[in-house]
Amino acid sequence: MNGLQEIRDFLAEEFPQSPCAIDAIGPQSATVRYRVDENSLRPGGTVSGPVLMTTADVGLYAAILGEIGIVALAVTTNLNINFLRKPSAGRDIIGECRLIKIGRQLVIGEVSLYSEGDDRMVAHAVGTYAIPRI
Amino acid sequence: MNGLQEIRDFLAEEFPQSPCAIDAIGPQSATVRYRVDENSLRPGGTVSGPVLMTTADVGLYAAILGEIGIVALAVTTNLNINFLRKPSAGRDIIGECRLIKIGRQLVIGEVSLYSEGDDRMVAHAVGTYAIPRI
Amino acid sequence: MNGLQEIRDFLAEEFPQSPCAIDAIGPQSATVRYRVDENSLRPGGTVSGPVLMTTADVGLYAAILGEIGIVALAVTTNLNINFLRKPSAGRDIIGECRLIKIGRQLVIGEVSLYSEGDDRMVAHAVGTYAIPRI
Amino acid sequence: MNGLQEIRDFLAEEFPQSPCAIDAIGPQSATVRYRVDENSLRPGGTVSGPVLMTTADVGLYAAILGEIGIVALAVTTNLNINFLRKPSAGRDIIGECRLIKIGRQLVIGEVSLYSEGDDRMVAHAVGTYAIPRI
């Protein structure tokens, strides 16, 4: 497992303007935060769908970096997301990511997304990543 | 929450030849078993994909019956399944089902599928069900 | 592209009891038929969800065999299906399959499913197949 | 079917900073364009995944507005996207959207995504939208 700071540095270099931060890296897991600001909102006082999709994608990517190392370049091949309820406009989005398959070719993980401080899931995503043959 | 026996009776009447059995019904959850026999197998000594999809679908349906009652007729609108590793040919398939949204119009749940006695997930599914307007 | 008869023979050997037949193989495409009988039906006079999922999976598999040859062993890694309207009980299910990506590691295709003789789509599926490294 | 200008005005008001433009509205269909700029890019000279997801989501939303009117408020409930090949960095993303089910409760559509001027699909998405009970 790679270290949290190492992964943060890598993501900061690769995505310098990303509003996502990695809160934690664990065994086959990661916690990601999307810092919600005015650009993240939709009319009606809620967070936009693309914000939730981005959070899921970045979080799974971080969990993969933690598991297989920051050298490998994982590529998202599939993302399936269900939107369950409206996120709160004034709270960061938190994604709890868990890898459910770590294969040589494919890594698959799921993400439960929340508005910070509220334990009702706002969205659930499953993503697949291809690990390029070296 | 409806009772286990009530749900078993309902499913037995609706799907008289189903190889699926409901092992347990809990709050927003259900455990389902697919009795694997020769018809469930694929060459190479593994369980077929449709068996896993059927298990996920029946299990989520049972969890919904437990939650909103056996009167309502839920209809599957979407099923997304990821196949993670080969199930064992000689073991029943067990699906652990959990509802993650119970709305008036839509119910969404996820299923972790296993070969009985082995804690490595063989597949993961997410299903959406429409609850007809009465 | 491999021949229709060659693919039929291969599938007949691999899945001897399958109710699916391959009607046609084309460039990056296939047409598959599920012979609907009493076992395929659900209460209410419609075809069961697993029948539709099986049709999509077998059809995409056939299209892959037509494209990359019957030697390779493709493994389904993801299937996402939307159920659009009730199929007719008395008609075969027809799946029109089209591959949309043919990579070295992954093949992805989509399937439009119909009740024979009715041009209203009853379901739509997208499937991903891993091609094992040789 | 509602008019193109009416839909453009509605989207411009609802999403004033959106980089998406509606190129065309047809029967149960829409063509959407994401104006790719520096913010849309990823290292390696390609367009980011969230850009593709946003394009699919906005395009389906526009197709729904064209079909059922701009009064109704459709809510995305599911988006499933497959990434097929790298989009070109210097070209707009074009989404060809087609509704495959228009129900009272749910509308489902699919989107083929391209880099402008290149007929190889870069991504394919399927989205489900709930139509609120009035």
Map residue A56 onto helix, strand or coil: helix
CA distance D28 to chain A (A): 22
CATH of residue D113's domain is 3.10.129.10
Mutating which of C82, C93, C113 best tests the B interface, going by the most B Cβ atoms within 10 A?
C82
- At residue A76 the predicted structure's pLDDT band, cuts being 50, 70 and 90, is very high
Q: Measure in Å the smallest separation between the Cα of B31 and chain D Cα atoms.
A: 25
CA atoms within 13 A on the CB side of D8: 12
Distance between CA atoms of C7 and D61, rounded to whole angstroms?
Answer: 41
**Containing domain of residue A111, as a range?**
4-130
Beta bridge partners of D124: D82, D112
Instruction: Compute the mean pLDDT over every residue in chain B, rounded to the nearest whole number.
Output: 91
Averaged pLDDT, B66-82: 89
Sort strands A20-26 and A29-34 into parallel, antiparallel or unpaired.
antiparallel
**Percent of chain D scored above 90 by pLDDT?**
69
Instruction: Quote the CA–CA distance of B90 and A96 in Å, as a whole number.
Output: 34
Best mutation target, C77, C101, C105, C106, to test chain D (most D CBs within 10 A): C101
Closest Cα in chain B, distance from residue D111 (Å) = 17
* Interface check B80 vs D, CB under 8 A: yes
| Predicted confidence (pLDDT) per residue in A20-67, tens digit | 999 999 999 999 999 998 877 777 778 888 899 999 999 999 999 999
pLDDT tens-digit series, residues A93-102: 999 999 999 9
B44: left (phi over 0), alpha (psi -120 to 50) or beta: left
Mean pLDDT of chain C: 91
Inter-chain residue contact B79 with C78, CB threshold 8 Å: no
Q: ipTM of this predicted complex?
A: 0.93
Task: Give the tens place of pLDDT for each residue, C64-78.
Answer: 999 998 866 789 999
Q: How many structural domains comprise chain B?
A: 1
User: Is some CB atom of chain D closer than 8 A to the CB atom of B78?
Assistant: yes
**Amino acid present at B35:** R
Q: How far, in Å, CA of C101 to CA of C74, rounded?
A: 14
